[in-house]
Structures are given as C-alpha cells and as structure tokens.
Amino acid sequence: MSRILIIEDEKNLARFVELELQHEGYTTQVELDGRTGLDAAINGDFDVILLDLMLPELNGLEVARRLREIKNTPIIMMTARDSVIDRVSGFDHGADDYIVKPFAIEELLARIRALLRRIDIENNLKTDADNIVKFKDLVIEKDGRIVRRGDQVINLTKREYELLLILMENIDVVLSRETLLAKVWGYESTAETNVVDVYIRYLRNKIDRKDEASYIQTVRGTGYVMRS
C-alpha cells in the first residue's frame, strides 16, 4: 500500500490524520516541523506528502520549493489560508493539490486517491511511450521486439532489429558506420564496417516499398540517417 508522509505541527491533527490513513491501509510517517519533514521527504520513499503551510523551522512553501529541486513526490498542501494568492503560491512552489482546514477526512482521502490514480495513469502512459518508437508509418514495440509498417508486421533478425532501432531512436542524427558497428556488433567485434552496409541493404529490402524513397538515407563518406 502507498506510503504517506505527514508534515504537520498540530500534534492532534497529525495523529488524527495518521490514524485515519492507517485505517485505510496506508503506511504513514509523521514529522512535526519543516526541517525534519524536508529531510524525511528527501531521504524517504513516499507516494504522497501531506504538507502543512505554517510550520516551525521551515514553512511549507520552502519545504515544497527545496523538495522540488530534488524529487517530484506528489504534495497535497493542508492549510487554513484559502485565498487565491495562497493557493497560487502553493501551486507555484510545487504543490499538486490543496485542501483547506478544517476539512472532512473523507475529502482528504478522496484527494489522495485521485492523486494516486493520476500518478498511476501518468506512469502507465510514460511506460507505453517508452515502449513505442515511431518513424512515419514505421513502428517498433520494444517490449515484444515487434516491427510494423502500417498494418504489416516485418520480420527482422536480431542484428537487423537492433540496427533499425538505433536509427529510429536517433532521427536526423547521422550515424557513422563505426558507431553503428560498435552499437550493434559491440566494441570488441572483429567485423568490418562494410557489414553495416550489408545489413542496411537487408533492412531496406524489408522496410522500403517499391517506387518510394528509402527510409534510411546514405550520407556519403560518413554513414546513415533517417530524416524527419
């Protein structure tokens, strides 16, 4: 279950929130001032931070500002100050959400759940984006090592796949034969650079279409590039 750091100097409120969160299955830690709270936030692995605005040692805005220089742990600010300026200042210093005291615990729990859902969605989207590499209608799904052009699956050997992936991850970057040889065949390889030319030809035969310009362009005297 998610870990939540509570940075709140009102002991009764901090204890009340902690007990409610534990009842919901969350793991909690409480810090009663801004300095120890910041240290815990930096050194700990938390999913959400509940951060009071008015704190001894360091105020909540300063805690959020310093934390944001290092980590992106989601922050919900808890404060009795509810003016527009206070809210804007909180968001500008790195808060992800804002709840005004006194609040109903049900509302706080709902905000925590909503924030965690949003983070999960963002992480899933990032994972999906990291898995997909695209160039025009050519798509590589890295997890499955699947290559498609349009609706057609293209069967590639291990070397062909690795060569194409490097080119597609470096769009508009001219890669020398030596660079491609080192990345695909390894720095200890005894293969000659002309093997790169051979495999580029294999790739072109599989991914290109008749009467259309090749997706992989030759840069004379240098190497190869896929240009946007």
- Residues 26, 96: one domain? yes
Q: pLDDT tens, 46-73? A: 999 999 999 999 998 999 999 998 898 9
Q: Which domain holds residue 92?
A: 3-130
- Residues 126, 140: one domain? no
Work out the average pLDDT over 96-118.
92
- Residues 176, 69: one domain? no
The predicted pLDDT at position 131 comes to: 83
Q: pLDDT tens, 28-45? A: 999 999 999 999 999 999
Residue 124: count other Cβ atoms within 10 Å of its Cβ.
Answer: 10
Mean pLDDT, the chain, whole residue set: 90
* Euclidean distance between CA atoms 152 and 206, whole angstroms: 11
pLDDT at 161 over 90: yes
In the chain, the percentage of residues whose pLDDT exceeds 70 is 96
User: Residue 209 in contact with residue 215, Cβ under 8 Å?
Assistant: no
In the chain, how many domains are there? 2
* Euclidean distance between CA atoms 67 and 74, whole angstroms: 10
Write the CA distances from 155 to 60, 159, 181, 226, integer angstroms: 56, 12, 21, 20
- Residues 107, 144: one domain? no
- Residues 36, 122: one domain? yes
User: Would you state the structure tokens that stand for residue 110, as one six-digit string?
Assistant: 């709902």
In the chain, the percentage of residues whose pLDDT exceeds 90 is 66
Please tell me whether the overall predicted TM-score, pTM, comes out greater than 0.85 for this model: no
User: Residue 99 in contact with residue 50, Cβ under 8 Å?
Assistant: no
Q: What residues form DSSP beta bridges with 149?
A: 138, 152
Work out the average pLDDT over 158-179.
94
Q: pLDDT tens, 113-150? A: 999 998 888 777 666 667 889 999 999 988 889 999 98
The predicted pLDDT at position 187 comes to: 64
Q: pLDDT tens, 173-196? A: 999 999 999 989 886 666 787 899
The predicted pLDDT at position 142 comes to: 87
Contacts made by residues 99-105, CB under 8 angstroms, sequence distance 24+? 101/13, 103/78, 105/16, 105/17, 105/20
For residue 121, the domain's CATH number is: 3.40.50.2300
Residues 6+ apart with CB under 8 A from 67: 38, 41, 42, 49, 73, 75, 94
User: Residue 47 in contact with residue 73, Cβ under 8 Å?
Assistant: yes
The domain boundary, picked from 130, 159, 180, lies at 130
- Residues 108, 79: one domain? yes
* Euclidean distance between CA atoms 198 and 102, whole angstroms: 71
